[in-house]
Amino acid sequence: MKNSVLLWLLLLSAKAVAQTIPFSLHFDPTKYQSQTLNIGEQTVTVRAYENLVYVGNPVDTAYQKMNIYIPEAYFNGKSINGYTAQNAPIFFPNKVGGYMPAKPATTQDKPMGMRSPSPTPVQPTALLVALSKGYIVASAGARGRVLKDNKGIFSGKAPAGIVDLKAAIRFLKFNDANMPGDANKIISNGTSAGGAMSTLLGATGNNPDYEPYLQAIGAAKAKDDIFAVSAYCPITNLDHADMAYEWQFYGINTYKGWSFGGGNVPSKNLSDAQINVSAQLKVLFPAYLNALKLKDKQGNLLSLDDTGNGNFKTLVASYIMASAQKELDKNTDLSAFTFLTIRNNTVESIDFDAYLKHLGRQKTPPAFDALDGSSPENSLFGTATTDMQHFTTFGKDNTLVEAQTANQAIIRMMNPMNYVGQKNTATAKHWRIRHGSKDKDTSLSISVMLATLLDNKGYDVNLAFPWERPHSGDYDIDELFQWIDTLCKK
Ligand code: DHB
């Protein structure tokens, strides 16, 4: 054989091998860079394992990669905050926002990105605080709704994002013996769409629905259930979020508008057609809520009548009262909030409708499955070749554009309500959900329904609506880690 032919054959076979050898799923503890971090008053040295592709057959290595940070102390037999190399919990924050593609978090990130309008600039990120408290941090990137491959095919539509985060959890469990930290103590954290991802990770552990997707990307052969969920303002239960929004905001006919990045748009009026849509959606909510058969702490069935009133509404209002009470207990003057009745430093009652006027509407109806297909969620539910689809019957029936409806199995996979405590599912035992009392990105009822379902199925839930907080996350990091420490040190 001529030399040139031989070379050509060699090159060809090398290329074939390169294409078939999958990325290694084995964590190599020797491949790190040392970083010294100033966190508040502390100086912490960590081993940084960055940009680890966490699946065998990645679709997009710019996103399907993870950063792992491990305190140096754990390689020297030391302990931090009572944790050791054997039992340190793993904090798993994601940076998903707007159901967009997300890079993994790094030690260099600025505190809270786009969703927090007024972050305290000196505050370290949750990732850094976690390291200072002896947690191991693993943060995975994930594909998102606008991502395309090099052929122009969408590669991050639902359920890609949650599948990626589950694959990253599998990587951590697969490598548990070879890595400091306890992969049975993974605590997920996220805000908004990232909060929704966090709730999905917690609700759906090991459920077989996701298996074909995980296999396709070559996820490690391991489980993907997690220990605890922290979720800030989860934008979830998308297929019922439109009716929930109108149950809450019907009759409020002006809206503030919104844009990613927090820019404030002047108030506008709903059109007659939009008010009509609001009325149609509002009346759909009681049937959905009643079918959930949720119960309050006393075991009473929670329900709503045809007008949208009932003890479920009272329960939602009671969370806002509790929030106000907590603020009052800090000696904050709440006299400007005239919808509260306060006597002897006690919040006695709330005029819930007046509170909702104070909160104000942000989105036009339908808030999520937009009839013109323009919402982030329409885009989330697109396909490889279609940018957007509907995902509710109402959206499909009333569409203003040529659009299909997403596959029911995929809609199902994006809603944690379908998985809590189900067969073949290891739902996280511990949950902390926060939704600001001034957050109008989704209905307050979304978090109340999820928390009540979890509670009814025997999971440990801590839900609160921090006073006057707008749509944002990671604003109470000390409390968050106190909560996790209490769980992990039991
Ligand atoms: C986010 C906010 C929204 O209002 C929404 O519909 C989807 C995502 C976000 O901030 O991630």
pLDDT at site 6:
54
User: Which residues does residue 43 pair with via DSSP β-bridges, in sequence order?
Assistant: 38
Please indicate, yes or no, whether residues 215 and 361 belong to a single structural domain of this protein. no
443, part of any domain = no
CATH number of residue 176's parent domain: 3.40.50.1820
Please indicate, yes or no, whether residues 323 and 388 belong to a single structural domain of this protein. yes
Does ligand 1 come within 6 angstroms of the Cβ of 192? yes
Which atom in ligand 1 lies closest to the alpha carbon of residue 368? 6
Label residue 338 left, alpha or beta by phi (over 0 means left) and psi (-120 to 50 means alpha): alpha
Supply the pTM of this predicted model.
Answer: 0.94
Q: Residue 462 contacts by C-beta under 8 Å, 6 or more apart in sequence?
A: 431, 432, 433, 483
Query: Which residue's alpha carbon is at the smallest distance from atom 7 of ligand 1?
Result: 98
Which atom in ligand 1 lies closest to the alpha carbon of residue 471? 10
Please indicate, yes or no, whether residues 252 and 219 belong to a single structural domain of this protein. no
3-state SS assignment for residue 92: strand
pLDDT at site 121:
52
Does ligand 1 come within 6 angstroms of the Cβ of 366? no
Please indicate, yes or no, whether residues 186 and 170 belong to a single structural domain of this protein. yes
Report how far residue 333's alpha carbon sits from residue 322's, in angstroms, rounded to the nearest whole number. Answer: 15
471 CA distance to ligand 1 middle (Å): 9
461, part of any domain = no
459, part of any domain = no
218, part of any domain = yes
pLDDT, tens digit, 9 for 90 and up, residues 359-396: 999 999 999 999 999 999 999 999 999 999 999 999 99
Digits of tens for pLDDT over the chain (490 positions)? Answer: 455 555 555 544 544 444 456 789 999 999 999 999 999 899 999 999 999 999 999 999 999 999 999 999 999 999 999 999 999 999 999 999 999 999 999 999 987 644 545 544 568 999 999 999 999 999 999 999 999 999 999 999 999 999 999 999 999 999 999 999 999 999 999 999 999 999 999 999 999 999 999 999 999 999 999 999 999 999 999 999 999 999 999 999 999 876 655 566 678 999 999 999 999 999 999 999 999 999 999 999 999 999 999 999 999 999 999 999 999 999 999 999 999 999 999 999 999 999 999 999 999 999 999 999 999 999 999 999 999 999 999 999 999 999 999 999 999 999 999 999 999 999 999 999 999 999 999 999 999 999 999 999 999 999 999 999 999 999 999 999 999 999 998 8
28, part of any domain = yes
Q: How many domains does the chain have?
A: 2
Which atom in ligand 1 lies closest to the alpha carbon of residue 97? 11
Please indicate, yes or no, whether residues 256 and 271 belong to a single structural domain of this protein. yes
User: Which of 411, 428, 447 marks a domain boundary?
Assistant: 411
368, part of any domain = yes
Please indicate, yes or no, whether residues 91 and 69 belong to a single structural domain of this protein. yes
State how far the alpha carbon of 82 is from the alpha carbons of 78, 79, 109, 126, 179, in Å.
10, 6, 27, 19, 18
Containing structural domain, residue 144? 2-237+417-436+472-488
Ligand 1: residue of 192, 238, 440, 444 to mutate (most ligand atoms within 8 A of CB) is 192
Query: Which residue's alpha carbon is at the smallest distance from atom 5 of ligand 1?
Result: 98
Please indicate, yes or no, whether residues 47 and 167 belong to a single structural domain of this protein. yes
Please indicate, yes or no, whether residues 258 and 304 belong to a single structural domain of this protein. yes
Please indicate, yes or no, whether residues 348 and 406 belong to a single structural domain of this protein. yes
pLDDT at site 18:
46
Q: Is 420 exposed, middle or buried (0-12, 13-18, 19+ CB in 10 A)?
A: buried
Please indicate, yes or no, whether residues 208 and 286 belong to a single structural domain of this protein. no
453, part of any domain = no
457, part of any domain = no
pLDDT, tens digit, 9 for 90 and up, residues 235-251: 999 999 999 999 999 99
State how beta strands 340-343 and 346-350 pair.
antiparallel
441 CA distance to ligand 1 middle (Å): 7
Does ligand 1 come within 6 angstroms of the Cβ of 235? yes
Please indicate, yes or no, whether residues 226 and 277 belong to a single structural domain of this protein. no
User: Which one-letter amino acid corresponds to residue 12?
Assistant: L
Does ligand 1 come within 6 angstroms of the Cβ of 97? yes
Please indicate, yes or no, whether residues 294 and 306 belong to a single structural domain of this protein. yes
